[in-house]
Amino acid sequence: MIFLSFMNLFRNYRRTLAILLTVALGTGVLFSFKGFINGVLSQYRESTIHALYGHGQINEKGYRETVYTKPWEHWMSNWENIRDFLISQESVVQVFPRVNFPALLRHENVTISGSGQGTDAKEEAGFFYELNIASGKSLTEEANGIILGIGLAKAINVEVGETLTVLVNSIDGRINQAELVVTGIFHTGSVDFDSHIFRIQLTKAQELLNTSNVELIALGLRHYTDWDSFAQTFEKHFQNLEATSFAVLDKIYYQHSVDWLNAQFRVIQLIILSIVLLGIFNSVSGAILERKQEIGNFRANGESVSDVMRLITIEGAFLGLLGSCIGVGLTYAVLKLFLEDQILLPPGPGMTKPFYISFYFDWAMVYTSIGLSTLAAIGASILAGIKVAKMPIAEALRSY
């Protein structure tokens, strides 16, 4: 039965070629669009991880969902011990203790509010490479250095090398201030982030806040897929703390983008598969109608309707499998040959910076694209063949 189904593909070369091209085109479009979506999501993910949050962060349990009048009372005092544990974990590559705090920035006659981040700047400089430095350089070992978002720098009218004053309300209610030198101005593309955030050394921030505690610990892992297993291990060891991934921390920008693009892909996928199914149905219907006498002979020789349908279904499976493999192979070759370099896209919603994306493929996409197209071909073959297979034998034999 399988051999006969395969040989039937060569009965009408033109019709078989038309079906294969229909399947190949649909599969290729499906495969390339999924690669594009994955490329966009990969760029979003890299930007979120390597500009803002790392792969995730550690806080006291419930800290992020609760508004405290004195949040510093819920900061981590034993953070060095936590850091030592984190470093001992195989999946953890880097550890970044931080504090966040509101502040006033004053330069000449301008005073504006901003959101400060005290960071281990030397440790973070290499990991947070998506924090694009528009001018100057990233903060590293400068004890009295500060870097600002480009929007914040424009608002206060400060440039690299100039000095500004940072005024902070410490945890004991006193106003502390520091004269800091602008070492760099960064540009992440996020309007909100670039208009409010500045970063200084963690030790300087702790001095201004009059505390030795840290609010959170951001993490750099070997790979973002390691997060779930790491978080489970960590929360078993530190039951009063919680580990939150970057996707949750940046739900509005990253996770909502993932959900929206995946929903969009499902709609496009349904449309493409419908076109493939209808195209195959049209071609297969013509082929089967031409074979009424042959099917009548099968039935007259004792073959059942189910035997005929099995033959037609296997033919459809061969067409779908061969066509989808051709489509995936050709699409991958064309994209690698002509679109290997990254593609420049305009800024996304809420962004000010264009970004480059590449098509990103994995084996799961290959299997899914081939599987869906093959199923569509099988479905079209069954729909086209069932009417002829059930035709009375005498009527089928009289067909021309």
pLDDT digits (tens, 9 = 90+) for 161-177: 999 999 999 999 899 99
Residue type, 394: A
Q: Which residues pair with 176 in a beta bridge?
A: 168
What is the model's pLDDT at position 99?
A: 97
Q: Which residues pair with 141 in a beta bridge?
A: none
Mean pLDDT of 249-259: 80
**Is residue 392 pLDDT above 80, yes or no?**
no
Selected residue with higher pLDDT from 375 and 214: 214
**Is residue 253 pLDDT above 80, yes or no?**
no
What is the model's pLDDT at position 399?
A: 63
Selected residue with higher pLDDT from 200 and 383: 200
What is the model's pLDDT at position 349?
A: 63
What is the model's pLDDT at position 297?
A: 76
Calpha distance 164→110 (Å, rounded):
10
Q: Which two tokens stand for residue 169?
A: 């309300």
Which of 130-134, 311-315, 385-389 shows the lowest per-residue confidence on average (mean pLDDT)? 385-389
With 0.75 as the threshold, say if the pTM is over it. yes
**Is residue 140 pLDDT above 80, yes or no?**
yes
Q: How far is CA 220 from CA 9, 180, 232, 338, in A?
A: 54, 28, 16, 34
**Is residue 3 pLDDT above 70, yes or no?**
no
**Is residue 320 pLDDT above 90, yes or no?**
no
Region of 245 (left: φ > 0; alpha: ψ -120 to 50; beta: rest) is beta
Q: Which two tokens stand for residue 391?
A: 């035709």
pLDDT in tens, 338-351: 877 677 777 766 66
- Average pLDDT of the chain is 86
Mean pLDDT of 39-57: 88
Classify 175 as helix, strand or coil: strand
**Is residue 102 pLDDT above 90, yes or no?**
yes
**Is residue 293 pLDDT above 80, yes or no?**
no
What is the model's pLDDT at position 4?
A: 60
Give long-range contacts, CB 8 A cutoff, 24+ apart: 39-45: 39/357, 39/358, 39/359, 39/360, 40/257, 40/261, 40/345, 40/357, 41/257, 41/258, 41/261, 42/357, 42/358, 42/360, 43/355, 43/356, 43/357, 44/253, 44/254, 44/257, 44/258, 45/224, 45/246, 45/254
**Is residue 400 pLDDT above 60, yes or no?**
no
Classify 62 as helix, strand or coil: coil
What is the model's pLDDT at position 104?
A: 96
What is the model's pLDDT at position 279?
A: 73
Mean pLDDT of 60-70: 90
**Is residue 245 pLDDT above 80, yes or no?**
yes
**Is residue 6 pLDDT above 70, yes or no?**
no
Selected residue with higher pLDDT from 309 and 351: 309
Selected residue with higher pLDDT from 335 and 102: 102
Q: In the chain, count of helices (H) and strands (E)?
A: 14, 12
What is the model's pLDDT at position 1?
A: 62
Selected residue with higher pLDDT from 296 and 1: 296
What is the model's pLDDT at position 350?
A: 62
What is the model's pLDDT at position 155?
A: 94
Mean pLDDT of 22-49: 86
**Is residue 378 pLDDT above 90, yes or no?**
no
**Is residue 326 pLDDT above 90, yes or no?**
yes
Calpha distance 264→161 (Å, rounded):
47
